[in-house]
């Protein structure tokens, strides 16, 4: 690092050398071993003679890196199925609000017919950031409400009387946690859109960190989060309006961000859900205009077999398979 071998300086010194003012540079030297020589069976003797002589030398590469502040990218967006806005949220953090508003603005400029918001494998995060993003999408109402052990309810976040004029589909699965579950519940119970996929993780407790005198801390659950309808979801999760699941292979590809949109059963089911809400989708799954894969219904769920023409008008929401019984948080 900057001409000094790491083995000759301490770990702490190496970390200190990494830190610096944004805009300044640091140079790394990386030693790359030589590739093994390729040999044929005919010149084995020559190869042996070569190996007994001087070994092939490796090379040292120098890479100069400019220091900068790192902002975690928790939101990505694109246009799918011709004119559908797609936003994937991996977690809610302080930078998510600006990223979300930027993505939404860019999609609006492209005049998308509806939004698919992907909360699969979302680890949760900042309730405040999540509520701020919901405020952009939903009309006036209570966004986040908690209930303590005495039964007292507290409204923590509300939305202003402005909402986006687009139908919404939210994709969720069994690893959609916490703040993301509240997001899905609000979209569902405000009747702003449909939740597609599987029942969420069921992590719905409000936790507080209490520092101790020895410098450690304990985390205590002090209340349950409620849906807008007043239901606690800790231990039960938020059920999907339209149940759809992926195969094990598709789930592995999704986790690596390698699942193609046309092979993503839950994503295409979410696009179909937009059509059910009246969105004029350019490439409807299951038609000649798109090569989408039909959703695989969960056991006990009813698969939608309506025709494409009938799907263009809104229909009553389809209930998911029964969710587990409630447990204490």
Identify whether residues 256 and 289 lie together within a single domain: yes
The pLDDT value given to residue 216: 92
User: pLDDT by residue (tens digit) across 124-139?
Assistant: 999 999 999 999 999 9
Question: Is 299 domain-assigned?
Answer: yes
Question: Three-state SS string across the chain, please?
Answer: CCCCCHHHCCHHHHHHHHCCCCCCEEEEEEEECCCCCCCCHHHHHHHHHHHHCCCCCCEEEEEEEECCCCCCCCEEEEEECCCEEEEEECCECCCHHHHHHHHHHHHHHCCCCEEEEECCCCCCECHHHHHHHHHHHCCCEEEEEEECCCCCEEEEEEECCCCCCCCEEEEECCCCCCHHHHHHHHHHHCCCEEEEECCCCCCCEEEEEEECCCCCEEEEEEEEEECCCCCECCCCCCCCCEECECCHHHHHHHHCCCCCHHHCHHHHHHHHHHHHCCCCCCCCCCCCCCCCCCCECCCCCCCCCCCHHHHCCCCCCCCCCCCCCCCCC
Question: Is 243 domain-assigned?
Answer: yes
The pLDDT value given to residue 42: 54
Identify whether residues 206 and 288 lie together within a single domain: yes
Identify whether residues 108 and 213 lie together within a single domain: yes
The pLDDT value given to residue 38: 63
Structure tokens at 49: 């003679």
The C-alpha angle with vertex 120 and arms to 176 and 128, in degrees rounded to 5, equals: 55
The pLDDT value given to residue 290: 55
Q: Does the pLDDT at position 310 exceed 50?
A: no
Identify whether residues 190 and 60 lie together within a single domain: no
Q: Rounded mean pLDDT of 72-95?
A: 95
Identify whether residues 60 and 84 lie together within a single domain: no
Question: Is 21 domain-assigned?
Answer: yes
d(CA 173, CA 175): 5
How many domains are there within the chain? 2
Average pLDDT, the chain: 84
Identify whether residues 59 and 84 lie together within a single domain: no
Contact yes or no for 77/51 (Cβ under 8 A): no
The pLDDT value given to residue 154: 97
Taking CA atoms, 131 is separated from 94, 96, 125, 142, 267, in Å, by 12, 11, 11, 10, 24
d(CA 108, CA 90): 21
- Phi/psi of residue 298, each to 5°? -70, 155
Residue percentage of the chain with pLDDT more than 70:
80
Question: Is 279 domain-assigned?
Answer: yes
d(CA 181, CA 194): 13
More confident residue, 288 or 194: 194
Q: Does the pLDDT at position 144 exceed 70?
A: yes
Question: Is 265 domain-assigned?
Answer: yes
pLDDT band per the 50, 70, 90 thresholds, residue 88 = very high
Identify whether residues 47 and 97 lie together within a single domain: no
Identify whether residues 113 and 243 lie together within a single domain: yes
CATH code of the domain covering residue 218: 3.90.226.10
Question: Is 327 domain-assigned?
Answer: no
Q: Rounded mean pLDDT of 135-156?
A: 97
Q: Rounded mean pLDDT of 101-106?
A: 97
Structure tokens at 4: 């000094």
Residue percentage of the chain with pLDDT more than 90:
63
pTM across the whole model: 0.72
Q: Does the pLDDT at position 55 exceed 70?
A: no
Q: Does the pLDDT at position 10 exceed 60?
A: yes
What is the domain extent for residue 244?
Answer: 75-311
Identify whether residues 262 and 120 lie together within a single domain: yes
pLDDT band per the 50, 70, 90 thresholds, residue 32 = confident
Identify whether residues 292 and 163 lie together within a single domain: yes
User: pLDDT by residue (tens digit) across 240-296?
Assistant: 999 999 999 999 999 999 999 999 999 999 999 999 999 999 999 987 555 444 444
């Amino acid at each position: 690092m900057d001409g000094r071998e790491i083995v000759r300086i301490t770990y702490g010194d190496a970390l200190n050398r990494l830190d610096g003012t944004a805009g300044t540079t640091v140079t790394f030297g990386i030693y790359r071993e030589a590739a093994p020589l390729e040999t044929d069976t005919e010149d084995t003797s020559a190869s042996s003679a070569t190996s007994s002589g001087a070994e092939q030398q490796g090379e040292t590469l120098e890479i100069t890196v400019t220091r900068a502040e790192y902002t975690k990218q928790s939101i990505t967006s694109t246009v799918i199925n011709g004119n559908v806005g797609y936003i994937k949220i991996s977690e809610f953090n302080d930078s998510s609000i600006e990223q979300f508003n930027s993505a939404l603005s860019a999609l609006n400029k492209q005049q998308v017919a509806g939004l698919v918001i992907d909360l699969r494998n979302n680890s949760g995060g900042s309730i405040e950031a999540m509520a701020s993003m919901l405020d952009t999408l939903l009309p006036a109402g209570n966004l986040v409400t908690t209930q303590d052990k005495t039964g007292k309810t507290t409204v923590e976040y509300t939305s202003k009387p402005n909402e986006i004029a687009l139908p919404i589909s939210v994709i969720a699965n069994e690893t959609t946690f916490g703040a993301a579950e509240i997001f899905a519940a609000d979209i569902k119970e405000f009747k702003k859109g449909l939740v597609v996929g599987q029942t969420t993780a069921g992590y719905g407790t409000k936790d507080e960190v209490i520092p101790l005198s020895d410098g450690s801390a304990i985390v205590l659950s002090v209340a349950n989060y409620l849906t807008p309808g007043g239901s606690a979801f800790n231990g039960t999760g938020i059920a999907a309006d339209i149940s759809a699941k992926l195969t094990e292979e598709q789930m592995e590809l999704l986790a690596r961000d390698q699942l193609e949109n046309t092979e993503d059963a839950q994503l295409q089911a979410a696009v179909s859900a937009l059509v059910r809400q009246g969105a004029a989708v350019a490439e409807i799954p299951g038609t000649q205009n798109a090569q989408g894969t039909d959703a695989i219904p969960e056991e006990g769920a009813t698969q939608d077999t309506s025709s494409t023409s009938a799907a263009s008008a809104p229909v009553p929401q389809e209930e998911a398979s029964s969710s587990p019984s409630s447990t204490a948080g």
